[in-house]
Amino acid sequence: MEIYEEGKARIKFNSQSFLNPKAQLSRDLSVAFVKYKTKINPKATVIDTTSATGIRGIRYYKEGGAKEICMLEINNSAFKDLKGNMNYNKMNKDSNVRYYNTSIQEFANSSVRESFDIIDLDPFGSAAPNLTDIMKLARDKSSLMITATDVAVLCGAHYKACLKTYFAQPLHNALCHEVGIRILLGYIARIASLFNFGIEPEISISYLHYVRLFLKLDHGAAAAVKNYESIGYALYCKACGNFALNSPIPHSLNCNVCGHEYSIAGPLWVGRIQDKTVINGVKEVMSQDKVKNDEMTFMSNLSSELDTPLYYSIPALTKMMNVESVSYDRLKEELQSQGHSISKTHMNKESIKTDAGISEVKAAILKVLKSRNMIN
Ligand SMILES: C[S@@+](CC[C@H](N)C(=O)[O-])C[C@H]1O[C@@H](n2cnc3c(N)ncnc32)[C@H](O)[C@@H]1O
Ligand SMILES: [Zn+2]
């Protein structure tokens, strides 16, 4: 039996597979998100649908300010750990704490229909098979926190698996992380629509081996129909590096810069994927709670990241242009002097987000190189 401490949770567990210390950022961020939401709604109830050892549920209750916590775990051995941890964390006799050795499916389809303000789904692999049942646990303004670890599928390393699971074509290049996030959001939007929910993505993270999405649901037919307006395609030109997000169907399948045929990904979510008010609110909570420095750095980067569609990979572009690479700082200086905004992206460390088009980015790269040669 191993012991692991994180935040206010003390966890005893048998199997390493049910508790991954590398997911601490995901948990710290989720605890802060719950805390941010419970400050707005102090009566917020939370369900941790894939509890494993119970670590998230314990933290949402003890640190996040959840009024009630419900935890589900299908696996008998993990549930044994969870039950032990309820004792260990002195939560077993609290009437606001419930835990069941059952599946999401069984719980969501039982005769007593329950709904929650905040719903956590953190499965192994794809979130897709559980989304329908997750929606049955939601109500107007519920928040969803959803993990996917099938990043290779969403990123196009397993093309057919992406077609089969998400009914979407992936893009297997540097853009794949944001395209993958958008494919998953597009899929969530479609399932949400079936239950008359519109989705509003608030935080979208691609980190290490997983994607973690935080979003809000709005109930009503109009909100659900609105999802459709944010469904479209990502277009990428491998001849010149141009890209676009198009909703709903591209007018032309040829690049509007060089005329080459686009590679197409989707259908996917083309709407906003970050909400800076929520990101900054959650960052503030994390700062007050004195999370680790590298987590604060991650949140600061996320907070300053532009929410422009997709990003330019500097190494891919300079390779395509057959020129030397340029530093982020010099490119930033050059693009800013042209009146453009620019930021890094947490999704790909050698890429930039900017409101400049491909021709402007390439011209800026050439200008940086020219000034460098003039100096040398
Ligand atoms: C990745 S682990 C969760 C890890 C945990 N959230 C954490 O942060 O340490 C996924 C857990 O979900 C459970 N699980 C998988 N499918 C489930 C289902 N349909 N209903 C309930 N639990 C499920 C698995 O047994 C496993 O314990
Ligand atoms: Zn092109």
Residue-range domains of the chain with CATH: 2-229+270-285 (3.40.50.150), 312-375 (3.30.56.70)
- Does any ligand 1 atom lie closer than 6 A to the CB of residue 59? no
pLDDT tens profile 297-355: 999 999 999 989 999 999 999 999 999 999 999 999 999 999 999 999 999 999 999 99
- Position 211 scores a pLDDT of 98
* Ligand 1, atom nearest to 103 Cα: 20
- The closest residue, in CA terms, to atom 13 on ligand 1 is 50
Strand order across the 231-236 sheet? 243-246, 231-236, 263-269
CB 56 within 8 A of CB 18: no
Q: From the CB of 147, is ligand 1 less than 6 Å away?
A: no
CA of 297 to the centre of ligand 1 (A): 29
In angstroms, what is the span from residue 190 Cα to ligand 1's centroid? 23
pLDDT higher for 34 or 373?
Answer: 34
pLDDT tens-digit readout, 8-30: 999 998 877 689 999 999 999 99
Question: Can you tell me which atom of ligand 1 is nearest the CA of 123?
Answer: 10
Tell which residue, 363, 316, 372, has the closest CA to residue 340.
363
- CA atoms of 332 and 370, how far apart (whole Å): 15
Tell me how far the alpha carbon of residue 259 lies from the centroid of ligand 2, in angstroms.
6
Query: Whole-angstrom Cα distance, residue 70 to residue 137?
Result: 12
Measured by CA distance, the residue closest to atom 27 of ligand 1 is: 52
Q: Considering only CA atoms, which residue is closest to atom 10 of ligand 1?
A: 123
Q: What is the pLDDT of residue 376?
A: 47
Amino acid at 308: T
Distance 318 CA to ligand 1 centre (A): 43
